[in-house]
């Protein structure tokens, strides 16, 4: 068995490694020459894959920038990005480029699976026609399925192996083949009737999170005005053994998924004369959170009789979530941008992010930021003693609820 993986990012590289560890030969393709060179050298650029693991698999993973190389494999997984255009519409260019190139080399008997998150209908309407360009057709020489990726970067309790995987093929045989493939790396497969169900299920998962995060963010703003501790409210509500699921407020959503994917469905819904109001409202509230957090920082400084202009403000954690160095859409970037416009002198500590070139900032050590006028906890990475940082800080703004239970003055919590 040999597997081709197109797109070697947060989704594609762990998949390539999983198949290689299961004993398969993997042809790993990316346009990015630097990534390909690193894989060839056994050096990982994704936190969830250690360089030791990658190094040990060098004989099984063949990394290349030449997509034609996947022609000799039995199955090809497409894991390219699905971003939004500047007008917040689906940008399928990376997917269509990969599909067009694959369509030029696809062979009879191959199974092609799309893993990138996208709107219902993409596999059937966009991918399949490009794969059929050389005369093969789905069901006759070609199998095609959609299987959404559920990887949660930085997470160790749920991995590719023990997270159920949804699979929807264009035909029952396509589903069957895709299930058989994933059985090598995944314990629980969830076959569904067609690709559209699988595409929509992934969007439902992400929209569910986006809407619930927005709800609790809105309540956090209200609790602030009412002078109630939102964290105590949430903890009390979470004691209900049924009918409640805990979500925590924070500085806003980041990463490739939550700020982006729901709008794929919003766009698609327009074709069906629907406006997806929950999605829009959740997006609006979550996008406002970094600005609200700036206001909380300003208020905290004001209480300490300091203006933002000229104050030394240090961010603690700038990636979009704990345990990863991914800064895509990170709310920390928006907070830094707004504070910089207002004249703050900024620095940051994040062991996963060596530099933020767009702001001319380099990672400072934790010790170096301790004398800032205010330290703002934006993203809580593991292995940091937040209690000790709070004790040493002049003023500490906690946007993640990590300091609950600490009775310290000069501490402000979202």
Ligand X SMILES: NC(=O)c1ccc[n+]([C@@H]2O[C@H](COP(=O)([O-])OP(=O)(O)OC[C@H]3O[C@@H](n4cnc5c(N)ncnc54)[C@H](O)[C@@H]3O)[C@@H](O)[C@H]2O)c1
3-state class percentages of the chain: helix first, strand second, coil last, to nearest 5: 40, 15, 45
Query: CA-to-CA distance for 242 and 229, rounded, in angstroms?
Result: 23
CB closer to ligand X, 20 vs 374: 20
Q: Would you say 354 and 371 are in contact if contact means Cβ atoms under 8 Å apart?
A: no
Nearer to ligand X, 78 or 380 (CB): 78
Cβ proximity of 262 and 119 under 8 Å? no
CB of 115 to ligand X, least distance (A): 6
Residue given tokens 């998924």 in the structure block: 257
Instruction: Give the C-alpha distances (Å, rounded to integers) separating 229 from 182, 232, 235, 364, 413.
Output: 45, 5, 10, 32, 9
Nearer to ligand X by Cβ, of 10 and 146: the residue is 10
* C-beta of 117 vs 143, nearer to ligand X: 117
Euclidean distance between CA atoms 83 and 403, whole angstroms? 35
Which one from 79, 174, 186, 257 is the annotated catalytic residue? 257
Alpha-carbon gap, residue 64 to 31, rounded angstroms: 8
Report the residue number, 311 or 324, with the smaller CB distance to ligand X.
Answer: 324
What gap in Å lies between CA 168 and CA 191, rounded to an integer? 6
All residues at 6 or more sequence positions from 277 whose CB lies less than 8 Å from its CB, including other chains: none
Residue 72 near residue 105 (C-beta atoms within 8 A) = no
Q: How far is the CB of 67 from ligand X (least distance, A)?
A: 6
CB of 324 to ligand X, least distance (A): 9
Cβ closer to ligand X: 268 or 306? 268
Which runs of E-coded beta strand occur in 106-188?
110-114, 137-138, 141-146, 165-169
Least gap, CB of 395 to ligand X (angstroms): 34
Query: What is the Cα–Cα distance from 109 to 73, expressed in whole angstroms?
Result: 10
Min CB(116)–ligand X separation in Å: 3
H helix intervals, 2-63:
12-21, 33-40, 51-56
CA–CA separation, 23 vs 17, rounded Å? 10
258 or 375: whose CB is closer to ligand X?
258
Q: For ligand X, which residue has the nearest CB?
A: 9
Q: Which residues bind ligand X (CB under 6 A)?
A: 6-12, 29-32, 35, 79-82, 94, 97-98, 115-117, 149, 151, 153, 256-257, 261
Nearer to ligand X, 256 or 334 (CB): 256
Q: Who contacts 191 (Cβ-Cβ below 8 Å, separation ≥6)? A: 167, 168, 169, 175, 176, 179
Q: What's the distance, Cα to Cα, between the start and end of the chain in Å?
A: 52
Q: Are 99 and 67 in contact (CB under 8 A)?
A: no
CB 332 within 8 A of CB 317: yes
Q: Can you tell me the distance from the alpha carbon of 304 to that of 313, in angstroms, rounded to the nearest whole number? A: 13
Is 257 marked active-site? yes
CB of 72 to ligand X, least distance (A): 17
Q: CB of 48: closest distance to ligand X in angstroms?
A: 10
Neighbours of 192 (CB within 10 A): 19
**Tokens 């000069």 belong to residue:** 410
Smallest distance, Å, CB 70 to ligand X? 10
Catalytic amino acids?
257
């Amino acid at each position: 068995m040999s597997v081709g993986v197109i797109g070697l990012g947060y989704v594609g590289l762990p998949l390539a490694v999983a198949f290689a560890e299961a004993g398969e030969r993997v042809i790993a393709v990316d346009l990015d020459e630097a990534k390909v060179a690193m894989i060839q050298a056994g050096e990982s650029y994704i936190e969830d894959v250690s360089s030791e693991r990658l190094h040990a698999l060098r004989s099984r993973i063949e990394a290349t920038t030449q997509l034609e190389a996947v022609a000799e494999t039995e199955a090809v997984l497409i894991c390219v990005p699905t971003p939004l255009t500047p007008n917040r519409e689906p940008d399928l260019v990376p997917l269509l480029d990969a599909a067009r190139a694959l369509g030029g080399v696809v062979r009879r008997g191959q199974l092609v699976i799309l893993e990138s998150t996208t709107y219902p209908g993409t596999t059937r309407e966009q991918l399949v026609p490009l794969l059929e360009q050389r005369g093969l057709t789905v069901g006759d020489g070609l199998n095609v399925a959609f299987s959404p990726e559920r990887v949660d970067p930085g997470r160790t309790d749920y991995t590719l192996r023990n997270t159920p995987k949804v699979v929807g093929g264009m035909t029952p045989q396509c589903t069957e083949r895709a299930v058989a493939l994933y059985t090598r790396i995944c314990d629980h497969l969830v076959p569904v009737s067609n690709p559209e169900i699988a595409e929509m299920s992934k969007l439902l998962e992400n929209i569910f999170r986006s809407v619930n995060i927005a709800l609790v963010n809105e309540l956090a703003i209200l609790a602030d005005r009412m002078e109630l501790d939102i964290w105590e409210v949430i903890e009390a509500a979470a004691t209900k053994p049924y009918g409640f699921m805990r979500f925590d407020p924070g500085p806003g959503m980041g990463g490739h998924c939550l700020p982006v994917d729901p709008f794929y469905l919003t766009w698609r819904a327009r074709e069906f004369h629907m406006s997806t109001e929950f999605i829009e409202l959740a997006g609006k509230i979550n996008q406002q959170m970094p600005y609200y957090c700036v206001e909380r920082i300003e208020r905290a400084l004001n209480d300490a009789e300091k203006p933002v202009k000229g104050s030394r403000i240090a961010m603690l954690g700038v990636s979009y979530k704990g345990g990863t160095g991914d800064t895509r859409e990170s709310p920390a970037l928006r907070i830094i941008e707004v504070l910089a416009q207002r004249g703050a002198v900024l620095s940051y500590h994040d062991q996963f992010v060596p530099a933020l070139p767009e702001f001319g900032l380099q990672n400072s050590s934790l010790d170096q930021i301790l004398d800032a006028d205010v330290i703002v906890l934006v993203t809580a990475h593991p292995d940091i003693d937040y209690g000790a940082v709070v004790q040493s800080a002049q003023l500490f703004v906690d946007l993640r609820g990590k300091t609950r239970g600490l009775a310290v003055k000069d501490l402000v919590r979202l």
